[in-house]
Structures are given as structure tokens and as C-alpha cells.
Amino acid sequence: MPLRKFPSQLLLFAMVLLLSTSAMLTPSRAVRAEPPDDEAHAELRKQRKEEAEPEKKPDSRKSKVPSERSRDARDEAAESASEESNDYQSEDNESRDRSAKEDENDDSAKQSKKKDAEPVVTCGQVTIAGKEIAYIATAGKMVMKTDEGEPKAEVFFIAYAKAPPERHEPQDEADEDEADEDEADEDDANEDDAERDDPQDDDENGDDDESSDSADSAQRAPRRPITFCFNGGPGSSSVWLHLGMLGPMRVKLGSDAETLPPPHELIPNQYSLLDVTDLVFIDPVSTGFSRPAKGEDKRQFHGYDEDIRSVGQFIHDYTTKYGRWDSPKFLIGESYGGLRAAGLSGELQERYHMYLNGIVLVSAVVDFQTLIASGNNDIAYALFLPSYATTAWYHKALSEDLQKLTVEEVAGEAKRFAMGPYLRALAAGDSLDGRRREEVVRRMAQLTGLDQQYIEASNLRAPMYRFGKELLRKQGLVVGRFDSRYANFALDEVGDSTQYDPSASAVFGAFTSALNDYVRTTLKVKEDRVYEILTDRVHPWDYSEFANRFVNASSALREAMVNNPYLKVFAACGYYDLATPATAMEYTRDHLNLPEKLQDNFTTDYYEAGHMMYAHEPSLKKLRKDLLKFYESALAPLSQPRDAEK
């Protein structure tokens, strides 16, 4: 209430109160009960009537009695007070209206901020195995939230789903509006029909329908599979699996390990798996377009446990939002993505009770002990040696008799030596006698193409970064780490390490250019941020879970396979992979300690390429063929008749 009007209002109300009090003090006639309507009281009723006559017919000259003048004054004061009160009420209502409107605007703003941006949906077609596959592409961010609903991060994803028949062509806006109106009319008509129907009919027919559904459920065809895909790093986006191996479009690369001129060329991917499974490509937090929410500490996503929890939550949230709980589920992880996939097999089972049908490990690592060739970790040196041999064979650095062998045969020869005489020699250490040492040095030189003097000076141990520098030193070249078929000029000729990776330099630019163009042009994603192809912003990566020991997710994978005996695992390995050697994955597989009956659930195959074997088209073709067999095997139990009662 405004202070400036308070005195006048107080005065008016005081006058009204004074006049009302005066009126109340005026003498009034006592209220008497009327006599009963009978003969005994007839005289009394007559007397009462005569006494009341003067009051009913007062003198016109005395019509303005004091009490009436009081009422007039009260009415006038009340009218004035009412006007004042209306002024206050009007201003008070306006104030409340403004406040309510401001609150409404604030709520709208908050709701606008809280509303999650919808992903962009587009349609496309690709020919796979001679058949045209229509698909729906969904690209956008999913907001990861706490249990209280507060945002933690935005995770960017690109999903491809096979389109239902006659649903893959986008409609014009006018057609969409007309379709919506027709659908609404149809719904209204159906509701009217339902109201006219006799409810008794539903009860009578319900048992038959339920019985039919139960009978069909035992042999019902399973839902279309869904596969969640990610690369590794840590710090890598999913671009490599997306545009190199699995998506409907792929980057054109030279199958003979040549570097193509920039910027890039995208071509339809006839080797995609879209004909057998829907695909979801995930960019973990801080990669791609994924970022922590404002004010959130990025460290809660950057670590072995942290990463598995966040990616696991995304898979859960996506499965829930898009209704895929009844779909067979697969994971495909490349490189460090293998460690992530192994960890997720346990996280999804334990946290969400989500059981997987299959896991594909592409040039993956599950146990870091198999890769860290340093110090006294001699097993890693032995596991790298077969890949040294195949690399030397590719670059024709071996003797004539070995060059006549196939790459598979060379790999076999090197593996037998590495896991036998070589590993025993390393284990012997300083106790190794001179004759055996000479034999090991000679055979190692034959299989790796390295000079005997270099091997001796290196104490029988050559880490990858030294091997890549030494093998073609005389030609002034270094070989690639991701794909040792690639070779390029050394930055210097006297150093002891490669200094850079020619295979990475050959493909990084093409994939980056292709992704940025494809996402913004074809998928129509509007985003100003940098798409982080491979970033170091995730470091330091937290491995505190594995303090004083090697990072290893083997136990998580083993437990998942034991708890879920239907879980199948397939590992794809490249002969020319010097990042995650094929023999290292074999060693991991053979040390899972699986029950004998489950050992066949883990299968492995090999390709004449490197870490990204899909960069080699013949290997990509073979990989698709192998994966079709794997998916068929993993899905086979779902097609077997089962007793509905069980």
C-alpha cells in the first residue's frame, strides 16, 4: 500500500467508524414475540396493531430522521473510502500482474535453458551387398544428468537406423501438417468408435488375444540389433570407425599405403554393417563436439573408471530414450576402445543389468602389460617381435628365403621364435650363456631385418619407436606406428626414434576434413565448436584404479563372459599394427582364464593391414565378411525356439 495515501484513508475510515458507533448507540425498540393466532389472544393482537400504526405512517415533514441522516453520511463516507480502496486495489493488482508476468518470464527462461536441444534427423540411402538400404541419420547431443536432473555433460552422437519401408523419404512441411491433421481426425474417430463399443466385447476377446500373443512370443523374430561404436585414445572421437569402417559413407584412402592429396573424398561405403545392425557412434566427453556442462569439472570424465561410467550412462540413456531395451546389443571398440569395451561389459551388467550379445575389438588393447615394452616387462618385447617380422617382410628387408613366404607364414615363424627361444633368453637375463645369446641374436636379426650389432648393443630389446627408426635408416625413412606399411622421410638421420608417425600423417587430414564437411553439410549439424578428432585435453588420464600395476580390464571381460555365457567376442588384428600388435591380443585372449566351454566364444582373425585395417580395401571387405559371421553366431541363440513358460 502506498504511503502517500495512507493518512487520507485513515481519516475516512475513522469517520465511518464514528458514525457507525453513533448509530449503534441510538435507542431501539425491544423485539417482542407475536401472540398466538387464537381467540384467547385476539384482544392482545389488536392492541399491538394499534401501537404499531404511528411507526408505519410517519409524518412526511419528519421523514429525515437522525438515523437516516446518519445512514446518508455513512454511505457518502463509504463511497469515498471505496474509491480510495479501489485505487489501492488497482495498483496492487497491477503490481501483482507485473510480478506474475516477471515470474512467468523467468520460468519460461529457465524452462528454455533446461529444454534439451533436439538432434537433427536426415535420411539417406546406400547400396550394400547389391541391395539399397534406406536409413535415418540422427545427429546431436544427449544431455547426461545427475539423479537430481542437473546436467553433467553434453555427449555428441551420430546414429544410423535402417528406415522402415516407405518412411525414408522426408516430407514437405505442408504434407507433414496435412498428415498430422488426418492423424488427429483418425484418432478422434477411433475414440468415438471405442466409446460406442461394448466393453463386454473386449473382455470376451481378451483371453484369445493374450493366448495368441503368448504362443507367438516363443518364436518371435528378435528386434533389429543395435551397435554402440567408439574409438580410443584416450582422447579420440569416433570418426575413424564412423568414416573408415562402419558408416554409410567412408573416406577414400589408398589401399597401397600411399598418401592422397588433400582435402578428402567421401564415397558410399558398400562394406557398412547397416544392413544387419543399427549403429550409434559415441564421442566421449571432451572429444568430438562433446563437452562437460558449464561449471562441471572435466576430471569426472577423464579416467578409466570415470570414462566407463560416463559412456555406460550414455548407452543406458540412449537405450531408454529410443526404446532399444529389447534389441540385441553390441559394442565395437578400437584401440583403447577395447579397454573401454571390456570395462563396459562389466559396468553395463553390474550397474544397469544390461547384458550384451557381442563385443568387437578392432586393433584393441585390453591389458597394458602387452604393450609397454620397457624396463623388466619382457613379455611386451616378445609380443611385438612378430609384427616387426611382418613389417620387415613388407618392406623387403628379410632374406630371400623368408621373402618367399606369405605374411601369415612369416608371422607364424616369428611367433614361434618370440614365445619360445627369445622369451626364454629375455627371462634368463644376465644368466644367459654366450652361445645361446649368439643364436638368439642371429635369429632375431633374420626375422626383424635389424643388424646383429644393433640387437646386441640393445641387449636383445628394441622398443617400437627404435625399430621404426632403425629398419629403413639407410634409406633415410621411418615406418609408421599405426600402419607400418607406410614409410616417409626421417626428420633427422642420426636420432634413435621415429619422431612422428607417417601413417597418422597420411590419414588424419583426410578424416578431419571429411568429418567436418559431412557433419555440417550432409547431416546438417549446426555447431561452432571445434570437432576434436584426437585431443590431449583429456590428460592427465586417471589410472588410479590400477596403482602399482598395469592397466588391465581382462577380469571385467572374463566376469561378463562367465555371467553371460551368450556373450561373444571377436578380435580383428592387423599384421602391420605396431601400436597394438596382433600377438598381444592373442596373449590377452589366452590369459582370460575362461572355462573350456566358453573359450570358443572368443574368436580372432587377421588382416593384411595395420591398426586401421579398414584403410586397406581388401581387408575392409574381409572384415565385413567376418563380422557378418560373427553377428550371425551371436544372434543364433535368439532364433532358436524357446518354451514360452520358461
- CB count in 10 Å sphere of residue 353: 7
The residues with which 571 forms a beta bridge, in sequence order, are: 361, 604
Same domain, 358 and 390: no
Which residues form the domain of 579? 226-369+507-639
The residues with which 548 forms a beta bridge, in sequence order, are: none
Task: Please compute, for residue 627, the number of CA atoms within 13 A of its CA located in the half-sphere on the CB side.
Answer: 27
For the ranges 177-186, 228-237, 351-360, which has the lowest average pLDDT? Answer: 177-186
Within-domain flag for 342? yes
Contact of 333 with 359, CB cutoff 8 Å: yes
Q: Residues 293-331: pLDDT tens digits? A: 999 999 999 999 999 999 999 999 999 999 999 999 999
Contact of 228 with 278, CB cutoff 8 Å: no
Grid coordinates belonging to 226: 543395435
Q: Residues 53-77: pLDDT tens digits? A: 544 444 444 444 344 444 444 455 4
Q: In the listed set 503, 527, 555, which residue is the last one of a domain according to the structure? A: 503
Within-domain flag for 530? yes
Residue 9, burial from CB neighbour count under 10 angstroms (0-12, 13-18, 19+)? middle
One-letter amino acid of 444: M
Same domain, 521 and 555: yes
Q: In the listed set 468, 503, 538, which residue is the last one of a domain according to the structure? A: 503
pLDDT of amino acid 374 = 87
Same domain, 479 and 496: yes
pLDDT of amino acid 112 = 41
For the ranges 79-93, 365-379, 498-512, 514-528, which has the lowest average pLDDT? Answer: 79-93
Grid coordinates belonging to 103: 515470474
Same domain, 539 and 616: yes
Same domain, 402 and 495: yes
Within-domain flag for 200? no
CA distances to 27, 43, 50, 57 from 33, in Å: 19, 15, 16, 22
- Mean pLDDT calculated for residue range 420-439: 96
- Mean pLDDT calculated for residue range 477-490: 96
pLDDT of amino acid 259 = 87
Same domain, 362 and 380: no
Q: Residues 568-615: pLDDT tens digits? A: 999 999 999 999 999 999 999 999 999 999 999 999 999 999 999 999
pLDDT of amino acid 206 = 41
For the ranges 46-55, 156-165, 356-365, 517-526, which has the lowest average pLDDT? Answer: 46-55
Within-domain flag for 336? yes
- Mean pLDDT calculated for residue range 136-162: 96
CATH number for position 324: 3.40.50.1820
Within-domain flag for 199? no
pLDDT of amino acid 223 = 85
Grid coordinates belonging to 645: 513358460
pLDDT of amino acid 366 = 98
* Residue 346 pLDDT exceeds 70: yes
Q: What is the dihedral of CA 406, 409, 414, 417, to 10 degrees?
A: -150
Phi, psi of 357 (to 5 degrees): -95, -30
* Residue 493 pLDDT exceeds 80: yes
216: which residues sit within 8 A by CB, 6+ positions away? none
Place 350 in a pLDDT band, splitting at 50, 70 and 90: very high
Within-domain flag for 412? yes
Same domain, 556 and 497: no
Same domain, 458 and 605: no
* Residue 94 pLDDT exceeds 60: no
* Residue 527 pLDDT exceeds 70: yes
Within-domain flag for 152? no
Same domain, 231 and 365: yes
Q: In the listed set 472, 503, 534, which residue is the last one of a domain according to the structure? A: 503
Domain count, the chain: 2
* Selected residue with higher pLDDT from 137 and 50: 137
pTM value is: 0.76
Within-domain flag for 87? no
* Pairing of the two strands 487-489 and 477-479: antiparallel
Alpha-carbon distance of 216 to 164, in angstroms, equals 22
Same domain, 546 and 479: no
Q: What is the helix, strand, coil percentage profile of the chain, to 5?
A: 50, 15, 35
- Mean pLDDT calculated for residue range 399-419: 98
pLDDT of amino acid 544 = 95
Most confident stretch, 5-14, 88-97, 497-506: 497-506
Same domain, 239 and 386: no
Same domain, 478 and 552: no
